[in-house]
Copies of this chain bind each other. A is one copy, B any other.
Amino acid sequence: MAQDKQLSESLEDYLEIILELEKGNKVARVKDIAEKMGIQSGSVTSALKNLAEKKLINYEPYSYITLTESGMAIAKEMNMRHVVIKDFLSRVLQIDEKKADETACRMEHTLDKKSFGMIVQFIKFIDECPRTGDDWMQAFINSCKPDADDWEKCKACLSQCSERLK
């Protein structure tokens, strides 16, 4: 294949953002990319040239910007990672939306494929296993409180759970 070499985090971010903009506006513009990334437009132009060379975007000077098929594939992959990781952080680890989003932005680049896959499985397991329902999640939240009790309510919690299974 031509496109085997791993992109930098920065370039992955560009693709992800271009995807978002395409969704909203059909098309991405330099100004919007710069704004979303909090950088200057000059920096964007250089990055776009780079991405165009790699055939990840369609780009001519002064033109609108769209993803190529391979660019789209990467962008969707990154977006999927983002969504899953954010879901894990917020729903499982109880991180608030904003921070979960920020952290997902970084983790989506650093998590290897296997670990990411296991997070997917783990979320699925937690969502589906009868031993880990909402009350289990609630038990976790309680256990985080400074005055967390030492598993006093466990029997009640468990029998509730058994009950549900019948």
Contact = CB atoms under 8 A, between A and B. Distances in A.
A136 interface: yes
Interface residues of A, number: 42
Interface in A80-107: 89, 92-95, 99-100, 102-103, 106-107
Interface stretch (A30-38, A45-53, A63-71, A118-126): A118-126
Contacts of A122: 92-93, 140
A165 B161 contact: no
A101 to B, nearest CB: 11
B157 A143 contact: no
B139 A129 contact: yes
Contact of A103 (B110, B154, B159): B110
A10 interface: no
